[in-house]
Amino acid sequence: MKYQWIILALALAAGLITSLIVDRSNPEKTGPEYPLNFLETANEAVDLYDPKDPRIRVIYFGYTHCPDVCPTSLAVLSAALQKIKPQQLSQLWPIFITLDPDRDTPEKSAQYAQYFHKNIIGMTGTQAQTKALAEKYGVLYIRTELKDSALDYAVDHNSYFYFLAPNGDLIEKVQHTLNPDILVDAISRVLQTSSNKA
């Protein structure tokens, strides 16, 4: 009986070691070099959950080759940002995170985001970071191959605006809308709730 326990312990240890080796050799893992919350902008890696930055994050997940939903949503976000008071705007960190890191470089994501509003920051992560963030906040997306198209593929995804606390906790999400006033109301509500908790 004693030998059975020894064999079982050795088997478990071997399994753990094998798992560690596989994890370290897999570039798609979010390892120490690519933590979940450090994404690339045009100039540097930025901490999405920086505790020193008290702003509420307003995140939209999409991709620059998106033909309709993404540009519409970012235009609505831009319109909402133009409608709110300067004090409210200073308490927000609007962010566009690409779901297509293979094509959307940090520079491309930044340029795309800035096209809609100067305050919207574009970010690109690794495939592993993108997948992990999507799973964390319930973002659904799938790559769909396009035959006989210059684009090669599309990234089908759901469309929400995610309001996050500085530590990354989800405060609220607002479904895709064509009415910026819905976003303006959500911004006011989230900022009010956050100030009451402070």
Q: Which amino acids are annotated as binding site for Cu cation, given as ranges?
A: 66, 70, 157
Quote the distance between the C-alpha of residue 33 and its chain's center.
Answer: 18
Q: Please, which residues bridge with residue 96 across strands?
A: 60, 122
- What is the sign of the dihedral through the CA atoms of 124, 128, 129 and 132? positive
Q: Which amino acid is at 104?
A: D
How far apart CA 152 and CA 42 sit, in angstroms, is: 25
Which residues participate in the annotated binding site? 66, 70, 157
Nearest alpha carbon to residue 134 among 93, 114, 162, 108? 162
Residue 51 tokens read as 């505790």
Cα atoms in the Cβ-side hemisphere of radius 13 Å centred on 57: 27
Which residues lie closer than 8 Å to 68 by C-beta, 6 or more apart?
A: none
Tokens of 70: 């993404």
- Under DSSP, is residue 171 helix (H, G, I), strand (E, B) or coil? strand
